[in-house]
Structure 1
Amino acid sequence: MKHYNPENEPQDSRERRAIEPVVCYPVESLVPAEMERLRAARQDLEKVAQVTVPPRDARCFEVPAGHFFRIVSRDGAQVGDLNLWARDNLHEKFYSGKTRALHGTHLSTGDRMWSGFPYLRPLATVTYDTLDWYGWDKFGGSVHDVIGTRCDPYTAKLLSGVDYHYCCHSNLIRALADYKEMTRDEAEPYVHDVLNVFMCTGFTLDTHQYFMKASPVRPGDYLEFFAETDLLGGLSACPGGDCSAKHSSDEAACFPLEVEIFKSNSQALEGWEPPAASSYSRSHG
């Protein structure tokens, strides 16, 4: 965290602080998600598959392009860590940093989950969020963040000196390795920073440190997505439970999460096609 040192303060410090900010990535030129079409398409959904993610564990699931999927709270307040890959190319995976730069620190209806370079295209679009009522609280917190990473055994070892294997990073490695029939060493490089589904987070107003607080999610709440291409997903039911106290331990109450996959029987998606990857020449000058 930054520490204020008055010895270094220049005479024009007040003027420098008063300079107006500029949004780094203005999104007015982005082709927006076709939300009216997606709202129409989701009016006639048929559930075609369901995957249960056990507490303190992870599972993988596939979603065909043009289908919808939901992450559902079932028995109690539970946070989930979501990875997304292009189904047939694990190198194309969710890029939380660029998603954050384009849409902000927390996602909700109409925001998109973008893939990394050299692809940089939407993998999924958020189409419904039963927690969109939460907004921002007095602490600067909100729900479904792309600012945290994922609880992992390396940070647990660094801060606590323990080997803890049922953190989200390790859960996702095991799930991907099992699903793709690869070793855990082979799977680990594909596991990436997550969308923290249902997690309530922000930065403290004084020290600007990443914080978490009890998730407002309750049984029946869900976050719904539209698959913009054929997807492979990985979801971990975080060992922090509702993340009201700590994670990377067996102390929190944890609950399963459900992934529900739907096809649309509406005509609204007629003519729809998956977005193309970036058209940049990749010459790099």
Structure 2
Amino acid sequence: MKPVAPDHNAPSDGPARKAVAPVICYPVEGLPAPDLAAYRAAREGWTLTAEVLVPPREARCFSVPAGHFFRIVSVEGPQVGDLNLFAADGLGERFFSGKTRALHGTHLSTGDRMWSCLPHLRPMATITDDTLDWYGFDAFGGSVHDVIGTRCDPYTHALLSGGDQYHHCCHSNLTRAVADRTGLPLHAAELHVHDVLNVFMCTGFTRDTGQYFMKASPVRPGDYLEFMAEIDLLGALSACPGGDCSAEHSSDAAACHPLLVQVFRPAAPAKGWQPPRRNGYDRSHGQE
């Protein structure tokens, strides 16, 4: 934990250094903006083609063709979920939480995109609707759908608990789900599990110590987060063993509920939409 008081006194120009105005690292004005009106219009007359119910403290995989929509829906009670996305044609292209955070901020909502890892770096999915968009940021600095947490995992759990073995952390849940879908051995599937979009989770950083915090999610049955798949996707969703994350995660004590994934086929693709190409950088890295 960070010390309460610093070990060193501020220099004479310390206040001036702290007063320097911040600069946005990645100005996004040059990013192609999704045509949300066209995306939403494509929902008219759509057809529900698949449903996957993710049991409490477990994970399941699902598929979404490019141009189709999917929703993650709260059912039965407040519950958060950890989402991994992969390109359907290869697990090597997967969601890049860090770059998504750098481009869109710590928490995602309507109009934001989930970007894939290098060297691909293209939109994988675009958020088209969010019934929790009313929440914004609360007085603690918390908000929903974060890309700052990693995922609860058995390694950190063992580290903090003195060696306790717990197998329903989201990392393990996702590992089992990916192994079941792909046929990979567990140890191989685990290497593809990556940092997540924490769906419905309410999180932030404490103002005094800068520590990652969670609090009871505002999600209620019927709430959903909706996406349009920009490419053919394989998704993996874990119903976190922390339930609504109001007290703890990686635990059998929390009240947990299932999550529902629904996949919809539009009657016609969104007007003007084309699947995005992989990133245009030539990968020469300065070598002639």
TM-score (ref. length: structure 1): 0.97
**Distance in 2 (alpha carbons) for counterparts of 1:140 and 1:25:** 22
Q: Which amino acid aligns with 1:20?
A: A
Q: Secondary structure at the match of 2:187?
A: helix
The residue aligned with 2:148 is 147
Aligned partner (choices 203, 206, 212) of residue 204 of structure 1: 206
Q: How does 1:135-284 map to 2 (within 5 A)?
A: 135-161=136-162, 162-266=164-268, 269-270=270-271, 272-284=273-285
**Distance in 1 (alpha carbons) for counterparts of 2:122 and 2:35:** 15
Q: How does 1:104-115 map to 2 (within 5 A)?
A: 104-115=105-116
Q: What are the superposed Cα offsets for residues 148-191 of structure 1, whole Å, 9 maximum, x if unpaired?
A: 00000000000012110001000000000000011001101100
Q: Secondary structure at the match of 2:17?
A: helix
Relative distance call for 1:109 and 1:270 in structure 2 (3 A) is closer
Q: How does 1:79-94 map to 2 (within 5 A)?
A: 79-94=80-95
Per-residue deviation, 1:7: 2.9
**4+ residue segments displaced more than 4 Å:** none
Q: What fraction of aligned residue pairs are identical, expressed as a percent?
A: 68
Q: Which runs of 5+ in 2 are unaligned?
A: none
Q: Secondary structure at the match of 1:69?
A: strand
Q: Secondary structure at the match of 1:7?
A: coil
**Distance in 2 (alpha carbons) for counterparts of 1:141 and 1:34:** 28
Q: Secondary structure at the match of 2:225?
A: strand
Q: Does the CA-based 8 Å contact 2:39-2:271 persist in structure 1?
A: no
**Distance in 1 (alpha carbons) for counterparts of 2:198 and 2:107:** 9
Q: Secondary structure at the match of 1:83?
A: strand
Alignment RMSD:
1.1
Per-residue deviation, 1:44: 2.6
The residue aligned with 1:41 is 42
Q: Does the CA-based 8 Å contact 2:42-2:271 persist in structure 1?
A: no
Q: Which amino acid aligns with 1:192?
A: H
Q: Secondary structure at the match of 1:186?
A: helix
Per-residue deviation, 1:272: 2.6
**Distance in 2 (alpha carbons) for counterparts of 1:190 and 1:30:** 28
